[in-house]
Amino acid sequence: MKKLHIKKGDSVIVIAGDHKGEQGKVMIVNVEKERAIVEGVNMVSKHTKPNTENPKGGIIKKEAPVHISNLKIVGSNGKPTRIGRKLDEKSGKSVRYSKKTGEVIK
């Protein structure tokens, strides 16, 4: 399994593409395709047939996946930061940290 610099629940900013500069929270990460769905970013219109969930059918706005390489984590200071990995002294596990501030990212 591949380790990615982004996880579910992270606050991210889009750094490339049509939605450059938009911020949101990661809802889903697809590790195989290296894509993430970010709340409120890359909205697309999906045409749906009537079903039990939506009896009238129609057009629904929903988020489409964004490639991981176009996302950067927003640090506690509100600015985008690069991510590194290091061993935690206490637990001995690999943790993510901000290369700008040096703080550990949960």
66 CB burial (10 A radius; 0-12, 13-18, 19+):
buried
The answer as to whether 3 is a domain residue is no
pTM of the model: 0.82
The Cα–Cα gap between 82 and 61 comes to: 31
41 has pLDDT over 80: yes
Band (pLDDT 50/70/90 cuts) for residue 69 is very high
pLDDT tens per residue across span 70-80: 999 998 888 99
Angle CA(47)–CA(53)–CA(55) in degrees, nearest 5?
70
The answer as to whether 65 is a domain residue is yes
The answer as to whether 1 is a domain residue is no
Q: How many domains does the chain have?
A: 1
Domain span including residue 30: 11-51+58-80
